[in-house]
Chain A
Amino acid sequence: MRQLAQLLKAGEISSQELVQRCLEQISKTDGEINAFITVDEQGALEQAAQSDERRAKGQTLSPWDGIPVAIKDNISTLGLRTTCGSRFLRNYRPVYDATVVERLQGAGLPILGKTNLDEFAMGSSTEYSAFGVTKNPYDTSRVAGGSSGGSAAAVAAGQAPWALGTDTGGSIRQPASFCGVVGLKPTYGRVSRYGVVALAPSLDQVGPMARTVEDAAILFSLIAGADPRDATSTGSPPFALPRWDPEVVRGLRVGVPEEFFSSGLHAEVEGAVRRALRRLEEQGAVLQPISLAGNEYAIDTYLTLVTAEASSCLARFDGVRYGERVPAADSNTMFAKSRGAGFGPEVKRRIMLGTYVLSASHYEAYYEQAQRVRTLIKLEVARAFEQVDVLITPTTPSTAFRIGEKRNPLEMYLSDLYTATANLSGVCALSLPCGWDSQGLPIGLQIMGNHFQEELVFQVARVVEASVERGAKGAV
């Protein structure tokens, strides 16, 4: 991205050319990949033209002015349809911009379009989108991961230099891992959620996805910091791009939670992660085995809370003011019919589960119990960060699976096995490629940092990145 910024500054390339190249790549590859739900060709070119004008007048908004970006389609964009991957919202055009979109536009980034996702971000493969599955650019018979599969694939396929995703239980990191890109789930509250269509407000975060650690850090610096319109972001500091320092790993205490290397983890994934750990050790890091026993309960806890919150957040999709309305004789039937027709099967499943766990007779056994376990997980993670500076784990138990391979929802839920703990405890976590399996598929490594420790996580990630050999086989 520094190179692109240099080229733009030197006048060797214009923002319009840059956008044009992305659009060409999209038109060449997206018929196959299906990373985008909406490509805003005209809008992106107009914004690029404005950027070029600003540059000509020496009035650029940031060093990154003119570098286009893709936005996950559950983030509101004024006038540009925001479907959330749902039939229900296939014609929904927001009347306002999300704070993160405002901030990116404030930095001069043209918006290429809106990327595919599992319906309302519920899923780990983008197979649950009403707009078709997103395919993995490394192997189009495989999934790109999810729910931010569109953003991950767009970056991996060179359709967009970088993109925004959202992460509730692993929805940035798992597709980043599957598509060989870098993705950060920021500390809860560090990035405004205003304008991001909620899946589970107590867990959702917006984060950057990019090809390199530095690019992800740059994009993060453009969106981070408190927003008066999001009460859960109060007090969050902004983020400035750090001076990169490879020495940061000298003496760094790296926690290696044994529960994340247990059965179910593919040998090749484990091998790549352990190799990366060894290289860190060689550079002076102190590896420290640690136990996060609570992780065993992370998925159950996560699902209980996500379904509960989602059942409430999605209740507003009733066909009254927007969304697809199915007419009926009375309002309750109209709600029911509209929702029946608008939502896909995974969304319905989670709404039913969530309604169940919140119902008066089951609240204590499920929702309240899950909140208690969440508190224990938070405490355990907090204790871990008293002993170590970062935690390093695999991002996912396996590399990208085949489209249609996981038919059982429970199996799909296990994709978040290593990622949900960061959301439950609110800490930040980043995934970056740390190697390739024998089939040439990227393997992801996760670095977790304490609350607001994004800078340290990026620093460590940058060292890991430098020590990993590039893949034998590139993306399409």
Chain B
Amino acid sequence: MQYDVVIGLEIHVALLTDSKFLCSCSTAFGAPPNTQCCPVCLGLPGALPVVNEKAVEYAVKAGLALNCQVHHFSRFDRKNYFYPDLPKAYQITQDTYPLCTNGCLEYYVDDQLQRTAITRLHLEEEAGKLIHSGSSIVDSEYSLVDYNRAGIPLIEIVTAPDITSPRQARLFLEQLRLVMRYIGVSDVKMEEGSLRCDANISLKPQGSPILGTKVEIKNLNSFRALERALEYEVSRQSMVLDRGGKIKQESRTWDERAGKTLPMRSKGDAPDYRYFPEPDLPPLLLDPLWVEQIRASLPELPLERLARLEREYGLSRYEATFLVNYPDFGELFLELAVPGGDNTAVINLLMGEYAGLAREHGHLEPRRIAELLRIVDEGLITHGQSKAVLEELFHSVLSPREIVRAKGWEVLRDEGQLRAAIRQVLADHPEILARYRAGEEKLWGFFMGQVMRAVEGKADPKLVNRLLTEELGSLI
């Protein structure tokens, strides 16, 4: 049977604040275990939480960037459960009155603009990190807990079940990551856990209005894992349904090595979190003016930039997408390019040799790149030489002009000198010259190459071309 796939995502984004959500401990990644904690994030008896305003600001920013309604009244709740990484045995989160609701995110799926509704976005605190003595929780004799991570601010983003394919889920998440990166609230690294995603998926007979039983998938540690796990679930659930079976409502975990999802816990085992309003924190009341200030401070978002790059800079979708997906390149492009002008040279440089070098060595200062483009344009060096200059720029403090001068890479313009070089080449290869004159025209390239080599590539190929034509012509 044919099925419609229904997917909804639950995403956690760690906010990039300097200090934690409810205390002033540092959030820096990679510090020695348990060196960034205090009575509050350790949940010591008597310690009390105080909300970090920066975390609220970042969450509001995220909400606005996702077109959410930001509520001027929201409230914190306790989510109660026992786990060794949860120091208070409850998590401070927002249940009944979340900070943001009713948003949406737009993104392209194969040139088709898609929109996924965001049901809610709320603030909560991160738990500590368990480090198991064995390879996993099951075969470990003991586990250590690192509370450096405990209390880092998170936003949880819940989508509506609007997503209809595993690939779309992945593209949605990639776009969400991009938006978070643009507004600078998170470094959104899945491998470091600052971006995490759980997926809910169900199938229903094609066209049916009735939703099927959903399964939750956890432990999705990469975009690829998200897509693969969902693909696996689509085929697993299809098979169960085709056989007339029923889908069990449960949580499953993605086993990356086995390439399959495995049952974790069923609905009956689902914990009762006993939510209730957090008595240690007053409700979160936002000044509408403050929210508007944050809205006004939002930077250009990915889709807006895509449109602008196409419209004002004449880029193709492919080029514009590259710049949007790599915002550092995008920023660089916008500094170097001219709206309404011909920006072919700029984009070709950035997407060509430069991209690889910059990924390896980091970016160059825009003014050095601009100078490089200028001296090619002026004809000081050839396009071919510009690659050598570019490489040199990554290892030198000199400007492009200084490098060209130091290396003696200026284009050779002396026609006499070039003609002399051409004549020498022709004289050195009488047999080949004879074959050329006998009609083997493809040997033209051989002479070009020899001449360029003789002048160490410093000549303008167009000029060499003309002179070579003239010299060969004069021989006939």
User: Footprint of B on A, CB under 8 Å?
Assistant: 74-76, 82, 84, 89, 92, 94-96, 98, 193-198, 200-202, 228-232, 234, 308-309, 311-312, 315-318, 320-322, 331-332, 335, 355, 358-360, 363, 367
Are A76 and B45 interface neighbours, CB within 8 A? yes
Interface string of B280-311 (1 = CB under 8 A from A): 11100000000000000000000000000000
Interface of A is mostly: loop
Q: Could you list 24 A-B pairs, sorted by A, with CB under 8 Å?
A: A94-B44, A95-B39, A96-B39, A194-B47, A195-B39, A195-B47, A198-B45, A230-B48, A231-B50, A231-B282, A232-B48, A232-B279, A309-B279, A311-B80, A312-B89, A315-B80, A315-B89, A315-B90, A318-B84, A320-B84, A321-B87, A331-B84, A332-B82, A360-B272
For residue B218, CB closer than 8 A to chain A, the reply is no
Are A196 and B84 interface neighbours, CB within 8 A? no
Report chain B residues within 8 Å CB of A202.
Answer: 279
A-facing residues in B368-403 (Cβ within 8 Å): none
Report chain B residues within 8 Å CB of A194.
Answer: 46-48
Residue of B51, B80, B145 with most partner-chain A CB within 10 A: B80
Q: How far is the CB of B358 from chain A (nearest CB, A)?
A: 45
Q: With A315-B90, A360-B274 known to touch, is A231 a contact of B280 (CB < 8 Å)?
A: yes
CA distance A360 to B87 in the complex (A): 23
Q: With A316-B88, A320-B84, A360-B274 known to touch, is A231 a contact of B45 (CB < 8 Å)?
A: no
Report chain A residues within 8 Å CB of B73.
Answer: none
For residue B43, CB closer than 8 A to chain A, the reply is yes
Q: How far is the CB of B302 from chain A (nearest CB, A)?
A: 36
CA distance A391 to B106 in the complex (A): 61
Report chain B residues within 8 Å CB of A92.
Answer: 45
For residue B49, CB closer than 8 A to chain A, the reply is yes
CA distance A229 to B134 in the complex (A): 39
Report chain A residues within 8 Å CB of B143.
Answer: 331
User: Footprint of A on B, CB under 8 Å?
Assistant: 39, 42-51, 78, 80, 82-84, 87-90, 143, 145, 272, 274-276, 279-282
Shortest Cβ distance from B76 into A: residue:
A231
CA distance A231 to B22 in the complex (A): 10
Are A355 and B145 interface neighbours, CB within 8 A? no
Q: How far is the CB of B37 from chain A (nearest CB, A)?
A: 10
CA distance A84 to B45 in the complex (A): 10
Residue in A95, A318, A358 whose CB lies within 8 Å of B276: A358
Residue in A200, A234, A359 whose CB lies within 8 Å of B274: A359
Are B280 and A228 interface neighbours, CB within 8 A? no
CA distance A94 to B44 in the complex (A): 8
Q: How far is the CB of B328 from chain A (nearest CB, A)?
A: 39
Are A312 and B43 interface neighbours, CB within 8 A? no
Report chain A residues within 8 Å CB of B83.
Answer: 331
Are B274 and A198 interface neighbours, CB within 8 A? no
Are B48 and A358 interface neighbours, CB within 8 A? no
Are B46 and A321 interface neighbours, CB within 8 A? no
CA distance A321 to B146 in the complex (A): 12
Q: How far is the CB of B159 from chain A (nearest CB, A)?
A: 24
Are B145 and A228 interface neighbours, CB within 8 A? no
Residue of A89, A316, A317 with most partner-chain B CB within 10 A: A316
Are A312 and B78 interface neighbours, CB within 8 A? yes
Q: With A84-B45, A193-B48, A231-B48 known to touch, is A315 a contact of B82 (CB < 8 Å)?
A: yes
Are B46 and A196 interface neighbours, CB within 8 A? yes
Are A94 and B45 interface neighbours, CB within 8 A? yes
Are B50 and A229 interface neighbours, CB within 8 A? yes
Residue of B43, B48, B50 with most partner-chain A CB within 10 A: B48
Report chain B residues within 8 Å CB of A363.
Answer: 274, 276
Q: How far is the CB of B144 from chain A (nearest CB, A)?
A: 11
Are A197 and B46 interface neighbours, CB within 8 A? yes
Are A367 and B46 interface neighbours, CB within 8 A? no
Q: How far is the CB of B21 from chain A (nearest CB, A)?
A: 13
Q: How far is the CB of A354 from chain B (nearest CB, A)?
A: 9
Report chain A residues within 8 Å CB of B80.
Answer: 311-312, 315, 358
Q: With A312-B78, A320-B145 known to touch, is A201 a contact of B276 (CB < 8 Å)?
A: no
Q: How far is the CB of A204 from chain B (nearest CB, A)?
A: 9
Residue in A98, A308, A316, A359 whose CB lies within 8 Å of B43: A316
CA distance A315 to B80 in the complex (A): 8
Q: With A197-B45, A232-B282 known to touch, is A308 a contact of B276 (CB < 8 Å)?
A: yes
Q: With A320-B84, A360-B272 known to touch, is A312 a contact of B282 (CB < 8 Å)?
A: no
Are B46 and A316 interface neighbours, CB within 8 A? no
Report chain A residues within 8 Å CB of B39.
Answer: 94-96, 195
Shortest Cβ distance from B51 into A: residue:
A231
Report chain A residues within 8 Å CB of B78.
Answer: 312
CA distance A47 to B90 in the complex (A): 38
Q: How far is the CB of A339 from chain B (nearest CB, A)?
A: 10
CA distance A76 to B40 in the complex (A): 13
Are A98 and B46 interface neighbours, CB within 8 A? yes
Report chain A residues within 8 Å CB of B82.
Answer: 315, 318, 332, 335
Report chain A residues within 8 Å CB of B43.
Answer: 316
Shortest Cβ distance from B90 into A: residue:
A312
Shortest Cβ distance from A98 into B: residue:
B46
Report chain A residues within 8 Å CB of B51.
Answer: 231
Shortest Cβ distance from B81 into A: residue:
A315
Are A316 and B276 interface neighbours, CB within 8 A? no
**Other A-B pairs, 17, CB within 8 Å; known A197-B46, A316-B43:** A76-B45, A193-B48, A195-B47, A196-B46, A198-B46, A202-B279, A230-B48, A230-B50, A231-B281, A232-B281, A312-B78, A312-B276, A318-B82, A321-B42, A321-B87, A331-B143, A367-B276
